[in-house]
Amino acid sequence: MAEKERIKKKNRREEILQALAHMLESSDGSQRITTAKLAANVGVSEAALYRHFPSKTRMFDSLIEFIEDALISRINLILQDEKDTIVRIRLIFVLILGFAEKNPGLTRIMTGHALMFEQDRLQNRINQLFERIEVQLRQILKEKKYVMGRDSIMTKPYLHHSYWHFVKGCFPALFAQNFAIAQQKSLKYVGH
């Protein structure tokens, strides 16, 4: 019996998070998503939400944790499986842009739009995720320099910033085109 309750609670938590992500997807970012709106969307009371999450901040934390796990684990697989620098960078870009295209609500978290009315700590957490990805790009380019034994245009210190800002710059294009086609247009510039 306890196992059924645990599964039911986990399913309800996931349902709440999915509803929040869906609301973020349909939101224009100019309105705060309240727990009252979220509870109505899920079909439960606000008190029921708080039985699963102590705060709305914790709900956002859980979504950010999902984003981190999804991106970092897949980036690690790319780094493990692929040795070519250009291919690694391209696959990381394709991963991030593909994730953004498939998860518009989560992309609003990644860009900070969904966090405008929330605690600064949440934006700091997203910034830390982006810093981790940028460090990975820097490391990939350093490895290229080490293998080549010399500098090339590929190993210049500023290049990882340019790459990363290019990817982050694609997010608004995804929003502008309602997450359709923009990724395909962006990918032609990363060697797809």
Domains observed in the chain? 56-190 (1.10.357.10)
Axis crossing angle, helix 159-176 with helix 85-102, rounded to the nearest 10: 30
Question: What's the confidence (pLDDT) of residue 146?
Answer: 46
Closest CA to 64 of 140, 128, 153: 128
Is residue 38 within 8 A of residue 49, CB to CB? The reply is yes
- Give 101's pLDDT tier (boundaries 50, 70, 90): confident
Decide if pLDDT at 106 tops 90. yes
Q: Which residue has the higher pLDDT, 190 or 168?
A: 168
pTM: 0.79
| pLDDT digit string, tens, across residues 121-144 | 999 999 999 889 988 888 888 876
Segment 9-13 mean pLDDT: 81
Q: Which residue has the higher pLDDT, 28 or 71?
A: 71
Percent of the chain's residues with pLDDT above 90: 42
Please give the DSSP secondary-structure letter assigned to residue 116.
Answer: T
- Three-state SS string over 41-75 comes to HHCCCHHHHHHHCCCHHHHHHHHHHHHHHHHHHHH
Decide if pLDDT at 148 tops 60. no
Alpha carbons 18 and 180: distance in angstroms, whole number: 21
Q: Can you tell me whether residue 80 is helix, strand or coil? A: helix
Question: How many CA atoms within 13 Å lie on the side-chain side of 180?
Answer: 2
Closest CA to 106 of 43, 74, 60: 60
